[in-house]
Structure 1
Amino acid sequence: MPKGKSVSQMSLEKMGASLVFPAILVLLCISTSPVAAQESAASEDRLPDDSPIVSHHQITVSGKPLSYTARAGFLSLFTDARELKARMFYVSYSLDRPKNAAPRALTFAWNGGPGSPAATLHLAILGPKRAKTMDEYKSPPPPYEIVDNEDTWLNFTDLVLVDPVGTGYSYPAKTDYLKEFWNVAGDIDSIGEFIRIYQSHYDVSDAPLFICGESYGTIRAAGLTKVLADRRIPLSGVILISMGGLIRGLSANDDLSAALIIPSYTATAFFHKKLAADLQTDFQTTLRYSETWAQSDYVVALVKGDRLTSSERDAVVQQLARFTGLDPAFVAKTNLRISVDQFARQLLRDRGLELGHYSADLTSKLPPDNVPYDVWSDPSLVSNGVAALIVPYLRSELGFRSDARYAGPWGGGWPSPKTPRGDWTYQRFDFGPTGWNFTVFQDLADTMRRNQSLRVFVAHGYYDFVTPYFAAEYAISHMGLDPALRRNVLLKNYFGGHSMYTEKPTLTRMSNDVGEFIRTTTPAKRPTPSVQ
């Protein structure tokens, strides 16, 4: 087991009361309590110690040894006047290679929320180690196991896992500074500054740069493309896992929202064998039928609304029941729009089961009808041991030791609140009930026009109701890209939910796909991206 240096006295052990960071879009994220702001950091006589804890490791991948160097530590964010604003925690992995080797791809990654650290991506798919039980959505009694990750992205890119300010071990220098980071623009800008500092600190500005975000992290990544372009930092590729914010801003009666989720219902009904026999034969063929109907006859019927004749409405009811696997009698009572809550409780009602919203292939016991959906008990948000593993992993495997809380989205801070907080992170970010109308995907489109070698990889799970895969296809097809640029966007759908890589077969397939994406984006003959 590698030995690391002790964390400096400027570490998070000094922190005071915690700040809760619950999440709305994160799935399978960390459930440990949040980290607190360190009031005294900026007033110390010396600047914080940004020297990382360095350790060396080796795993076996496809029968071959993979030797790498890990670094765990902080980088400090300062204003131009050298005022300390925040310290951001990261873990990086770099493949051990000769000093004169050509620059290797470098990928910065984070999870979503907002309010989640990068631990799920870290210990489920990207890093050289992973939680053993991630493919089962089950957490056995401790001790939990870490195993070598044969599908690690370190095979094809060096990695930096970043905890945004207020998550993980990252913290603002003063509590008053939180408002500068807890908003869409400030959050994005801080990650951009972190990347700039990291490139300078480790002299890796010539490495092909990739960024990767999951869920809300895709919003962060899309907006970051513009920030990096404005700072003249060349970007080679963007990896978006479960694109967030696509339909959340639409009202419950919105026709587009109702249509875009139908194929996800169909995929889920297929998985649970609830469709008619002719639709249970071939998965992809059935999805094409569902997609075609949802964006044609179904949308037209929703637009007509009360103008539908009785026979027209009956026909829509029958088709909607056919593509969702629901009882036509139930569908007839829904005003032709089936909410996620309704579908999740109705599809397997005969078995006494409720579907997970984030991964509908998973189920839990059906609650009484008068009990509303409870995100805390959603089976697809079980953390699979990651919450219990991340801190021991940092301490024992990487040698980074701290008694501070590793901040996750689900509360549990100290001292405990006396009354319910009701402080979902989207409220802290001032999103509000209709605040999901982001412009960052237009920023991504604009950046692709400025940097025409920029490539985008989009991954979605078929069984995800929070960020439906067909909504991503809709969003991409409405970015206003010309055909040449449209070819720079690669969309891949996988069996699984919001964090589809928790299924081992999908983990392998997705890692292979991303590896191919990065390798074809950065061949030796490909020019360095330019920013205009």
Structure 2
Amino acid sequence: MTTNSTQNILLWTIMLILFVPQNGKAQQIKVPKDTTIVTNHTTNIKGKTIPYKATVGFQPVWDQNRKQIASLSYTYYKRTDIKNDQNRPLLISFNGGPGSGSVWMHIAYTGPRILKIDEEGFPIQPYGVKSNPNSILDVADIVFINPVNTGYSRMIMDAEGKMPEKEVFFGVNADIKYLASWVNTFVTRYNRWRSPKYLIGESYGTTRVSGLAFELQTNHWMYLNGVILVSPTQIGFKFDGPVEVANRLPYFAAAAWYHKMLPSELQSKDLLEVLPEVEQYAVNKLLPAIVKSGYLDASIEEEVITKMAYYSGLSKKTIKQHNLEVPKSYFWKDLLRNRDGFTIGRLDSRYKGMDIKEAGEMPDYNSELTAWLHAFTPAINYYYTQELNFKTDLKYNMFGPVRPWDRTENNAGESLRKAMAMNANLHTMIQSGYYDGATTYFNAKYVMWQLNTNRKLTDRLSFKGYRSGHMMYLRNEDLIKANDDIRDFIIKSSTTISKGSKY
């Protein structure tokens, strides 16, 4: 054996000793299992100095044998200058996906610190966060919760190194069940049973909080004062087919109005003058026409095509070729195709995208989502380490692995309706952006109508619209208005309890 060969063997031996763990296992990144980190802060809200403490915590999820199977991360903001907090409301906040962390509403909507973005919500550098003078922390404490595999939340191995079954967490009803137990523990640990309690959810989070309202009430005897649905999904209500198709038109009109693609007589009107007219047409004229399909009288079909083009900014040819059923994805691709060739965003149609080819049936990518991830990802990572003093090698999952997601037996909307019927003090508010093409504002109104089929919940249901998209709070004007709407909703619904929970 040559000297060089001997040296090479010795070198490789040293490297193996240095870099291979002696127990034969790779080092695991540790997931905090039941810990808290507390920091103290002040902020200015509506001209008043508000002191608060922020708790970055990890609270267990247990199985039926009381063994920990997951650790959920949360961030809890509590105002500290309230001596008697028995009437202090608590807002419990969830985002959606499913699989999305709580980052979106946490550092852009209701929390005390928000993204550095421009007035319309577009990313700017340097990245980071700033004070939120519109936060609702002046009237309510807030906890932002990350379900399993979102944010820093993770499943926990058992003693044999086996992960729990995914079915325990990843489904409409599984999600509601374990999160209700988790919320019960949180409320107990932080002594919030006396507090007026509110759930707020965004996007799929609206399905989550709708189901939670009933689950908490019936299986944990926790009665809520309010549920806030931000950019709601169908929450289990069925409106596919002609209803879903007809419901697209008001959103098409809103997006076309924003991009100045409507005829001059419509374009000269304010958006909120245009939309009621389109809504009435969609329900009273378009829906019956779509129902008749190929048996619609040819002259009436031509009238409908002409009116749809008038309200949508699309060509009559496009509408006719799609048999009146233009997919939203095609609309995002086609609206500006013959003007400047840009696409428009799915979640917020104010955003433009640039595809490789102007031809095609749908955009290459979601232009709004890339802009949001551009701003949110560095901000949340900076915020936790530098301002909340939480340092970890765990990746913050903006979108975590939660597939497959069991969507069967989704009765969340009906569950919310039952919860409201059983609890005379439970109020619901819906917030939607007019330019949201994923969970459209008119579908949100439709959801509200389905909650009130017996006409007896009218005074406890409300709808608020905003001139932006899915995350309407990114636009500063809407950030102010939407937080004020939540503030008013909490104040109004938390004071009525003094009259007694009764009909």
State yes or no: 1:428 paired with 2:400. no
CA distance in 2, matches of 1:98, 1:273: 49
What is the aligned counterpart of 2:117 among 133, 141, 146?
A: 133
Deviation at 1:131, TM superposition (A): 0.5
Of 96-105 and 63-72, deviating more is 96-105
Superposition pairs for residues 146-185 of structure 1, below 5 Å?
146-174=129-157, 175-185=163-173
Q: How many residues align?
A: 469
| TM-aligned CA distance change 1:362 to 1:246, over 3 Å | farther
Q: Deviations over 1:133-158 (max 9, x none)?
A: 164444345x4121100011212110
Partner of 1:416 in structure 2?
none
Native 8 Å contact 1:362 1:380 kept in 2: no
The residue identity in structure 1 corresponding to 2:256 is A
The residue that corresponds to 1:320 in the other structure is 308
- Give the corresponding residue for 1:368: 357
Q: Please give the secondary structure, in 2, of the residue aligned with 1:487.
A: helix
1:164 alignment partner, SS class: coil
Q: 1:332 to 1:216 in 2, by over 3 A?
A: same
Q: Is the 8 A contact 1:216 1:245 kept in 2?
A: no
Query: Highest CA radius of gyration, 1 or 2?
Result: 2
Following TM superposition, by how much is the alpha carbon of 1:74 offset from its aligned partner in structure 2, in angstroms?
A: 0.8
For residue 301 of structure 2, what is the amino acid of its counterpart? R
Aligned to 2:498, what secondary structure does the other structure show? Answer: coil
Instruction: Please give the TM-score of this superposition, normalised by the length of structure 1.
Output: 0.83
Q: State how far apart, in whole Å, the 2-side matches of 1:386 and 1:150 are.
A: 19
**In structure 2, what is the equivalent of residue 408 of structure 1?**
398
Distance, in Å, in 1 between the alignment partners of 2:364 and 2:167 is: 26
- Aligned-partner residue type, residue 122 of structure 1: H
Q: Which amino acid aligns with 1:160?
A: V
Look up the equivalent residue of 1:288 and give its one-letter code: P
**What is the letter of the counterpart of residue 394 of structure 1?**
Y
Tell me if 1:264 matches 2:251.
Answer: yes
SS at match of 2:346: coil
Task: Check the 8 A contact 2:345/2:366 in 1, yes or no.
Answer: no
| 1:397 Cα offset (Å) | 0.6
Give the drift of 1:282: 2.9
Shift of 1:85: 1.8
In structure 1, distance between residues paired with 2:78 and 2:27: 30
- Post-superposition offset of 1:285: 2.2
2:495 alignment partner, SS class? coil
Partner of 2:263: 276
CA contact (8 A) 1:91 1:160 kept: yes
The alpha-carbon distance between structure 1 residues 407 and 488, as it changes in their structure 2 partners (threshold 3 A), is same
Q: Does 1:239 align with 2:211?
A: no
Query: More deviation in 206-215 or 94-103?
Result: 94-103
C-alpha distance in structure 2 between counterparts of 1:112 and 1:399, whole Å = 26
| Residue 526 (structure 1) shift | 2.7
* Partner deviation per Cα, 1:481-505 (whole Å, 9 max, x = no partner): 4333222011111111111111000
1:469 aligns to 2:459 (yes or no) = no
Distance (whole Å) between structure 2 residues aligned to residue 156 and residue 390 of structure 1: 24
Are residues 1:379 and 2:365 paired? no
More helix, by proportion: 2
- Higher RCO (CA-CA < 8 Å; seq separation 6+): 1
Give 1:381 deviation, angstroms. 4.5
Q: CA RMSD in A?
A: 2.4
SS at match of 2:451: coil
CA contact (8 A) 2:235 2:412 kept: no
Deviations 1:338-386 (A, max 9, x none): 1112211221111111110111111112442565645744334522421
Q: Is the 8 A contact 1:452 1:485 kept in 2?
A: no
Cα distance, 1:58 vs. partner? 0.6
1:451 matches 2:427: no
Contact 2:116 2:123 in 1 (8 A): no
Please tell me whether the aligned partners of residues 358 and 381 of structure 1 are also in contact (alpha carbons under 8 angstroms). no
Shift of 1:49: 5.8
Change over 3 Å in CA distance of 1:475–1:49 after alignment to 2: closer
> Could you say if the C-alpha distance between residues 151 and 14 of structure 1 is closer, same or farther in structure 2, counting changes exceeding 3 Å?
farther
2:95 aligned residue: 111
SS at match of 2:71: strand
* Cα drift, residue 80 of structure 1: 4.6
Select between 161-170 and 93-102 the one with higher mean Cα deviation. Answer: 93-102
Deviation at 1:14, TM superposition (A): 6.8
Q: Distance in 2 between matches of 1:260 and 1:245?
A: 12
Within 2, Cα distance between the matches of 1:528 and 1:246? 29
Shift of 1:528: 6.7
CA 1:219–1:49: 2 relative to 1, 3 Å: closer
Secondary structure, counterpart of 1:463 in structure 2 = coil
**Any conservation in 1 of the 2:333–2:360 contact (CA below 8 Å)?**
no
Consecutive unaligned residues of structure 1, counting only runs of 5 or more, are 1-12, 17-37, 42-47, 412-424
Q: Find the counterpart in structure 2 of residue 193 from structure 1.
A: 181
Q: Which amino acid in 1 is paired with 2:384? A: L
AA partner of residue 429 (structure 1): W
- Give the TM-score taking structure 2 as reference length: 0.88
Q: Is the 8 A contact 1:214 1:242 kept in 2?
A: yes
Does residue 1:392 correspond to 2:382, yes or no? yes
Q: 1:329 to 1:293 in 2, by over 3 A?
A: same
**Cα distance in structure 2, aligned partners of 1:493 and 1:521:** 20
* Percent of aligned positions that are identical: 27
Q: C-alpha displacement at 1:172, in angstroms?
A: 1.4
Match of 1:78 among 59, 62, 74: 62
The Cα of 1:213 is off from its aligned counterpart by 0.4
> Relative to structure 1, is the Cα distance of residues 138 and 470 closer, same or farther in structure 2, using a 3 angstrom cutoff?
closer
User: Cα offset for 1:329?
Assistant: 2.5
Aligned to 2:466: 494
The one-letter amino acid paired with 2:61 is L
Give the partner amino acid of 1:365.
Answer: M
Distance across 2 between alignment mates of 1:368 and 1:224: 45
- Residues 54, 72 of structure 1: 8 Å contact kept: yes
Answer yes or no: is the 8 Å Cα contact 1:53–1:73 preserved in 2: yes
Letter in 1 for 2:304: V
- The question of whether the paired residues in 1 share the 8 Å contact of 2:385 and 2:391 is answered with yes
* AA in 2 matched with 1:269: A
Q: Counterpart of 1:295 in structure 2: which amino acid?
A: V
**Contact residue 445 and residue 481 of structure 1 kept, 8 A:** no
